[in-house]
Amino acid sequence: MPSTGAGADAARAAFRELLDAKGHAVVNARAAAAGLEAAFSRGSLTRTPAIAAMLADLMVALEQDAGQKLGGKSAEAARFILRAISRELDDA
């Protein structure tokens, strides 16, 4: 059952704003993931198994060693995963 209320609506809107934001995809992806984690912690959204799996995949795509720059495949993977999360958020 999807989360309802102003908090859920605001969390979904904030996530989708970051999905469409200008800037580096990796930076936006980290901010979007942090926003979702905060929404889950507040109880505004419910963490579904699908979203949990997608967030785990996103974290793998965003891993980097100290001093390593992310881009290219990491950015494309982040965009792909964020779009999938966005579709799933209506059920969260």
At 15-54, the pLDDT tens digits run: 999 988 898 888 899 999 999 999 999 999 999 999 999 9
Residue 16 counted as domain residue: yes
Mean pLDDT of 62-85: 75
Residue 1 counted as domain residue: no
Q: How far apart are the first and last CA of the chain?
A: 7
Q: Supply the pTM of this predicted model.
A: 0.82
Residue 65 counted as domain residue: yes
Residue 32 counted as domain residue: yes
**Number of domains the chain contains:** 1
Residue 81 counted as domain residue: yes
Residue 19 CA to residue 17 CA, distance in Å, equals 5
